[in-house]
Amino acid sequence: MPQRIIHRTPQPFMNAAESIKTGLLAVVGIGPGAADLITPRAQLAIEQAEIVAGYRTYLELIAHLVRPEQDVLSSAMMQEIDRCRRALALAEEGKRVALICGGDPGIYAMAGLVYELARETGSTCRIEIIPGIAALNACAAVLGAPLMHDFAAVSLSDLMTPWPLIEKRLHAVAAADFVTVIYNPKSGRRSSQIVRAQEIMLEHRAPETPAGIVTGAGRPHESVRLTTLAKMLDEEIGMQSTVIIGNSATFAFQGKMVTPRGYAAKYGLADAARS
């Protein structure tokens, strides 16, 4: 019997009569920053919102999507809890709110915090998570194909995670030979963590292991550097940088970083190339 395929048209917002009762908070991922990397669903959520809220830098990236009649709530970095509380409160009042996040809202962003606060306050508003292109996707694309096999992401920010736990995770992923994506590698006040991360990786991987550093992915100031694990600290690394360290099979090819998925071993691609 042929299967019936059902196509779902995204409906991120309810109609006006429904919104009076419960409201809606859309947590919107806008990707790495480039206008052409914002998904159509994210654009629709922003366009249909009555209120657009977010960190001011992210709001600047979507200024072209915001209409004059929409209310805009801008806040500074480190005000995440207040920002999410305010967005939830407005949705509780029956408003259609778009809370803007860089990258994907479910990866080191606001989705989890929104749900935590909703549980804490007993919020009954509808919450919708609008996915976006995460930093690891954008950075992997400009580097080539470094995430073709199993990988792990580790943030070096110890603002909310104790450093001993971060070190433990670094040891685990290094020993397991995961390609490793490092978020928040360094800032003006944190410079030793990336040094320690390199030391831990070097305990398990060869110095010549490819490493990629992407800063400002998808933005006008984008910078891409392909280097090695041993030499990666010679490159400029900052808070807008993402570092990808290859596994034991990762190789450099024509200025790109590639991690084999295993096709050559299974299907004899290497033998075919030699014949």
Residues 118-130: tens digit of each pLDDT = 999 999 999 999 9
- Whether the model pTM is above 0.85: yes
Looking at residues 183-208, what average pLDDT do you find?
Answer: 95
Cross-strand pairs, 203: none
Give the Cβ contact number of residue 138 at 10 Å: 23
Structural element, H or E, at residue 264: helix 263-267
In angstroms, the CA 1 to CA 216 distance is 50
Which amino acid, 254?
Q
**What pLDDT sits at residue 2?**
47
- DSSP strand pairing (24-29 vs 151-155): unpaired
Contacts of 36 (CB under 8 A, 6+ apart): none
Residue-averaged pLDDT of the chain: 90
Give the Cβ contact number of residue 191 at 10 Å: 11
In angstroms, the CA 222 to CA 33 distance is 10
Of the two residues 20 and 12, the one the predictor is more confident about is 12
Asked if 209 contacts 246 with a C-beta cutoff of 8 angstroms, the reply is: yes
- Residue whose tokens read 């670094």: 170
In CATH, what number does 136-258 get?
Answer: 3.30.950.10
From first CA to last CA, the distance across the chain in angstroms is 45
Asked if 218 contacts 37 with a C-beta cutoff of 8 angstroms, the reply is: yes
Residues 161-178: tens digit of each pLDDT = 999 999 999 999 999 999
Domain ranges across the chain = 16-133, 136-258
Percentages (nearest 5) of helix, strand, coil residues in the chain = 35, 25, 40
Which CATH class, in words, describes the domain spanning 16-133? alpha beta
